[in-house]
Amino acid sequence: MAITARPGKGKGRPAPSPDGQMTLTEHLRELRSRLFVSVCSVVVGFIVAWAFYQQIYDLLRHPLQVAVDRLNEKTNQDIRLVINNVAGGFLLQTKISLVAGIVLASPVWLYQLWAFIMPGLHRTEKKWTLIFVAIAGPLFGAGVALGYAVMPKGLEVLLGFTPEGVSNLIDSQHYLNFMLRILLVFGVSFEIPLFVILLNLAGVVRAAHLRKWRAWIMFGTFVFAAVATPSTDPITMLFLALPMVALFLISEGIAVLVDRRRAAAGEPDYADLEDDEASPL
């Protein structure tokens, strides 16, 4: 990539060049500026989350409370959250506020990341990236919402193994880590079809390959759902597996349309080339 020198405007963010070229120093200044704005947005989000800590904590504790209430309808067991050290309450509030602050500030730091990468992309790449960013957020949110909805059932099954007469005192830090991990798994799993479409647009995977591998992909989806879900009951597994299968089928359909458009436009297809075979390029 050619690097050309051009005068900057003060010590702040460098002025954009018409051809998008920047010196190494300007790239570093741009990165510093983007990071500073991102960190400031997270700090603001942290302060807001700290002020509403009790409401956020109640939201995170709700699935456990629902599971305990259901279990108490069948048997009376002592299941409750506990804090095991003097500074545990402060650390718990700090961790929850930090995670919530990162989530609240995500529109800002995601935009800063996009704005830093965007000058190096072609016009077509910018268009597709904007589309995928617009789709990825709602998909991730839908996965997290589904994980939150099935969490009480999963906790009910897991806590149901507590022997009668035994108190199950759950460390608050462990419960928070467990819940965040499950929500993250559900959110990321909903992004998998999006990566399939990205690979298809990049010419790495064709619709014919997806059709050929469909049975194995569906089998792997159910295995992943069985491992990722917090409980051992098939209902919770299906809540994750069925939406993933539906999203994969949609991504396969989009891949078929993309391949047909390429064939109609006469675009070259390098998917069938061997690894050691040279392309016409």
CA distances, 118 to each of 11, 113, 122 (Å) = 22, 9, 8
pLDDT at position 205 is 79
Q: What is the mean pLDDT of the chain?
A: 79
Q: pLDDT above 90 covers what percent of the chain?
A: 15
Write out the H or E segment, with its range, that includes residue 79.
Answer: strand 79-82
> Which class for 131: exposed (0-12), middle (13-18), buried (19 or more C-beta within 10 A)?
exposed
Separation of alpha carbons 237 and 227, rounded Å: 9
Greatest extent of the chain over all pairs of C-alpha atoms, in Å: 75
pLDDT band at 258; cut points 50, 70, 90: confident
Which tokens sit at 163?
């022997």
Q: Is the pLDDT of residue 141 over 80?
A: yes
pLDDT at position 16 is 53
Rounded-to-10 torsion of CA 173, 97, 40, 87: -60
* Triad 220, 224, 228: Cα angle to 5°: 175
What are 73-118's pLDDT values in tens digits? 887 778 888 988 888 889 999 999 999 999 888 888 878 877 777 7
**pTM given for the model:** 0.70
Q: Tell me the H-state helices in 160-206.
A: 172-189, 192-201
Dihedral pair phi/psi, residue 82, rounded to 5°: -135, 160
First to last CA, the chain: 20
What are 3-48's pLDDT values in tens digits? 444 444 444 455 555 555 667 787 788 888 889 999 999 999 999 9
Rounded-to-10 torsion of CA 141, 146, 149, 152: -120
Instruction: Return the residue matching tokens 């359909």.
Output: 253
Separation of alpha carbons 17 and 2, rounded Å: 13
Kind of pairing between the strands at 79-82 and 168-171: parallel
Instruction: Please indicate whether residue 36 or residue 280 has the higher confidence score (pLDDT).
Output: 36
DSSP state, 169?
E
What are 224-246's pLDDT values in tens digits? 888 777 666 677 778 778 888 88
How many CA atoms lie less than 13 Å away from 7 in the CB half-sphere?
A: 2
CA-nearest of 2, 9, 39 to 26 is 9
